[in-house]
Amino acid sequence: MKAFRGEILCVAEDPAVAGAEAIHHFEDGLLVVEDGLVVFCGHHDEKFADVPTEKLDGLIVPGFVDAHVHYPQIERIASHGEQLMQWLERHIFPAEKAFADRAHADSVAAFFLDELLRHGTTSALVFATVHAGSVDALFEAALHRDMRIVSGKVLMDLGPEGLSDTVASGRADTEALIARWRGRGRLGYAVTPRFVPTSSSEQLSDAGALVAAHPDVLMHTHLSENLGEIAFVGERFPDAADYLDVYDRFGLVGPRSVFAHCVHMSDRALGRMAEAGSGIAFCPTSNMFLGSGLFDLAQADRHGVAIGIGTDIGAGTSLSVLHTLGEAYRTCQLRGSSLDPFRALHLATAGGARVMGIADRVGALRPGQEADFIVLDERSTPLLARRCAGASLHDRLFALQVLGDDRAISATYLRGRRAYERERR
């Protein structure tokens, strides 16, 4: 057993629903960990006086959950010029083809996961590529680091030359990966059709069958990101009610489904998502970078759809969830609503965990949960330090979201073990 003493903040429930009681703040807090699990999280308590205690200087919060990110695209971040479909053709598909080479996949996976830890992200729902080896590379690297990572081989039988599978190979590779990785470490599998434009009806139907056959897997895809993409889907499925309805026809809309983006949504589609228990990954930096549009959080809230935060690298512009929350705030401002910083922290931790179906394991530092947490340093830059000096918790947290990035992560812990520590200044 060991303990960590410092200022602790957790937002286990959505404050927009549960109110201020969702916010748990302990100025002189204590987090007690045994065998990687939280035993106690609360005000410092003398009953743990005999437990070896590490004093942490900073704000302790649960590790960030990135609900949508593409590891094979990390080297194509900041690629100039186009919107979604052209950007994929010009920058992304060529980069993903390189993952046929396992050594390349191993190298990028290791870099990507180390970068996640450096940015305070401890759990993520990750796109790989069409190649089964890209998933093996990521899972091996995640197992080695003891990270909670969910991923899957991308299904795209209508993909470009050199980056497509077939209905049969997609199914066989997916089944083999699920069998190979089930129950290992903290890994999870997601059946991952890229999006409707790159899969045949047969493959989408097969994906639905795979999800139905494996109650422990997620379904992870993209939905209604870009107007050109939506028009393309509408032409292919003219009798579908909307884009979501296409996924629905193939059994891909359910409680284990996570849809990235959802920028242009009808009330019908959001109502259906809420009814099905599906989740949305809100990816503000990506949506602005590709000019896709502004996600309407208030509209999704009216329907009660579960929301997580995605960095969506490589269309996203930062692996920092703190920075992404600042962009989420700006998106909401442009939509005429205001994102509360405590709620933002919830979406980036327990909210994302709920979307990924891992809220019983991580996201809130509840007793019995895995002790994945980070230490935020509000003195990481002179301006942040000046803004936070003497400020309220609300204002400090908001300043971290607007001004903070990887520099504000002073340490990352996985199951109570330090996995990253920023060099001391």
**Contacting positions for Zn ion (CB under 5 A):** 260, 312
DSSP secondary structure code for residue 351 in this structure: I
What is the chain's percent helix, strand, coil content, to nearest 5?
A: 45, 25, 30
Provide, rounded to whole angstroms, the least separation between the CB of residue 79 and Zn ion: 14
Nearest to 24 by CA among 338, 358, 350: 350
**H or E stretch at 113:** helix 102-118
Residue with Cβ nearer Zn ion (96 or 370): 96
Residue with Cβ nearer Zn ion (260 or 384): 260
- Characterize the bridge pairing of strands 53-62 and 373-376: antiparallel
Provide, rounded to whole angstroms, the least separation between the CB of residue 97 and Zn ion: 17
Residue with Cβ nearer Zn ion (225 or 372): 225
Provide, rounded to whole angstroms, the least separation between the CB of residue 286 and Zn ion: 7
Tokens representing 107 are: 């190298």
d(CA 124, CA 150): 6
* 361 three-class SS: coil
d(CA 156, CA 258): 17
Residue with Cβ nearer Zn ion (177 or 313): 313
Provide, rounded to whole angstroms, the least separation between the CB of residue 85 and Zn ion: 13
Tokens representing 146 are: 């003891």
Residue with Cβ nearer Zn ion (96 or 312): 312
Contact, 187 vs 139, CB < 8 A? yes
∠ CA 274-71-66, nearest 5°, is 40
Provide, rounded to whole angstroms, the least separation between the CB of residue 421 and Zn ion: 30
Contact, 260 vs 312, CB < 8 A? yes
* Cβ atoms < 10 Å from Cβ of 20: 7
Integer-rounded Cα Rg, in Å, for the chain is 21
Provide, rounded to whole angstroms, the least separation between the CB of residue 81 and Zn ion: 18
Provide CB contacts within 8 A for 51, sequence distance 6+.
1, 2, 3, 32
d(CA 164, CA 158): 6
Residue with Cβ nearer Zn ion (259 or 373): 259
Alpha-helix residue ranges (DSSP H) falling in 214-320: 227-236, 243-249, 267-276, 284-289, 297-303
Provide, rounded to whole angstroms, the least separation between the CB of residue 222 and Zn ion: 6
Residue with Cβ nearer Zn ion (10 or 262): 262
Provide, rounded to whole angstroms, the least separation between the CB of residue 213 and Zn ion: 25
Residue with Cβ nearer Zn ion (306 or 403): 306
Contact, 252 vs 204, CB < 8 A? yes
Tokens representing 90 are: 């010009």
Query: Is the dihedral angle over the CA atoms 59, 304, 335, 68 positive or is it negative?
Result: positive
d(CA 155, CA 129): 8
Residue nearest to Zn ion (CB): 312
Provide, rounded to whole angstroms, the least separation between the CB of residue 418 and Zn ion: 31
Residue with Cβ nearer Zn ion (33 or 95): 95
Provide, rounded to whole angstroms, the least separation between the CB of residue 252 and Zn ion: 16
User: Phi/psi of residue 392, each to 5°?
Assistant: -70, 165
Residue with Cβ nearer Zn ion (7 or 312): 312
Residue with Cβ nearer Zn ion (8 or 244): 244
Provide, rounded to whole angstroms, the least separation between the CB of residue 66 and Zn ion: 11
Tokens representing 282 are: 């809100």
